[in-house]
C-alpha cells in the first residue's frame, strides 16, 4: 500500500474535501482518502491498479489540482 499527502491550495471547506474523497474513492485501488481543510491537503492510501499519476490527474480533472 502506498500513502501520500497532496497539497491542494484551493480547499476551502468541508464540501471541497467531501468532493475530493468521493471522486478519488471511485478509483480502483484507493483504500482511504482523508482531507484536512486547515492544512489544505488530502492524504491518500492506494494499491494497484491506481498509481500516483492517476490520482494527480483526477485531482486536476475535478478542479482541485495538487500543488
Q: pTM of this prediction? A: 0.93
> Would you state the pLDDT for residue 32?
97
State percent of the chain over pLDDT 70: 100
Best CATH choice for the domain 2-61 from the list 3.40.190.290, 3.30.70.100, 2.40.10.10, 3.30.980.10:
3.30.70.100
Q: Where are the domains of the chain?
A: 2-61
> Would you state the pLDDT for residue 58?
97
Q: Which residues of 6-18 are buried (b: 16+ CB within 10 A; e: fewer)?
A: bebeebeeeebbe
* pLDDT digits 0-9 by tens, 5-29: 999 999 999 999 999 999 999 999 9
Amino acid at each position: 500500500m502506498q500513502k501520500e499527502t497532496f497539497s491542494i491550495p484551493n480547499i476551502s471547506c468541508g464540501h471541497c474535501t467531501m468532493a475530493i474523497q468521493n471522486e478519488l474513492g471511485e478509483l480502483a485501488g484507493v483504500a482511504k482518502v482523508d482531507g484536512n481543510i486547515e492544512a489544505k491537503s488530502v492524504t491518500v492510501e492506494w494499491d494497484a491498479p491506481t498509481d500516483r499519476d492517476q490520482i494527480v490527474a483526477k485531482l486536476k480533472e475535478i478542479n482541485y489540482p495538487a500543488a
